[in-house]
Amino acid sequence: MIVDLLVEGFDSALLPCSFVVLVPGAAAVIAARQESTSAFFGFSIGLVALTFLRFSGRGGDLQTGFVALMLAVAVVLLAIPLVRRLNVVTGAGGLLVGAAAGVLWEPCVGIHFAELLNDLPTSRIVPGVALLAVYLIGVLAPVIALAAVLYLIPNPTLILARPVMLVIGCGTLAVLAVATAAGFSDDVISRLVELSVA
């Protein structure tokens, strides 16, 4: 079951359905630059928590206005370490982005993830969260790779310099926040999918 979920998660990372999770995740770790691991761990915790609440029917189906606010606050938190390195703040920013992604995500469901989702409302919390986390490790493989690359590059070049990355990452999140508030975040993700397919 665990290996099957992980494999299916890896499979799903390549599907357009997962862009709603992958785009904000990538934007958060890009914005965080060398604190990318803090942003990633925060993102993962927020994503697992909110997806578990929603998919288990225990809550978490927040209004889009609130989700937009979470993204906007995250942009500010991720931008703070530009002037003062503070991993906790970056992690909190990542957590908010992950939580927002967890609310917006409407996944395509393969056979093993389906088994988990159909059992999730009646499952105990710890095993349910653990299995969901296993699946999401697979889905987030591209973000894990990106976070690792950003962390391991020792001397930022001009292109990878923090301010440039911050503008790309926070800019993407800000666009998502505005689009979510206006009710067309689907269209933004859709456009990104079309661009990536092209």
Partner 1 sequence: MSRRQFLAVMIGLAAIGGLVAANLTDDDASPAALPAATSADAAPTTSVAEATPTPPDPLAAAPPVLGTAGDLVGLDGWLQTDATQFSDFDGSVRVVQFWTFSCSNCKNTLENLRGLYDEFEPRGLEVIGVHAPEFSFEEDPVAIAQAAVELGVRWPIALDTDKTNFRSWQTGRRFWPRTFVLDREGNIRFDRIGEGAYDELNATVAYLIENDSDRSS
Binding site for partner 1 (CB under 8 A): 3, 6-7, 10-11, 15-17, 37, 54-55, 57, 61, 106-111, 113-115, 117-118, 138, 141, 144, 148, 151-152, 186-187, 189-191, 193-194
| Whole-number Å distance between alpha carbons of 65 and 47 | 18
For partner 1, give the closer residue by CB, 24 or 72: 24
For partner 1, give the closer residue by CB, 4 or 164: 4
For partner 1, give the closer residue by CB, 121 or 163: 121
Return the axis-axis angle of helices 141-152 and 19-32, rounded to nearest 10°. Answer: 10
44 backbone dihedrals φ, ψ, rounded to 5°: -65, -45
| Whole-number Å distance between alpha carbons of 143 and 187 | 22
For partner 1, give the closer residue by CB, 5 or 72: 5
How many other C-beta atoms are found inside a 10 Å radius of the C-beta of residue 192?
Answer: 17
The number of angstroms, rounded, from the C-alpha of 146 to the middle of its chain's C-alpha atoms is: 12
Q: What's the closest the beta carbon of residue 4 comes to partner 1, in angstroms?
A: 9
Q: What's the closest the beta carbon of residue 79 comes to partner 1, in angstroms?
A: 23
- Judged by phi (left if over 0) then psi (alpha if -120 to 50, else beta), residue 183 lies in left
For partner 1, give the closer residue by CB, 85 or 191: 191
Q: What's the closest the beta carbon of residue 167 comes to partner 1, in angstroms?
A: 26
| Whole-number Å distance between alpha carbons of 115 and 136 | 15
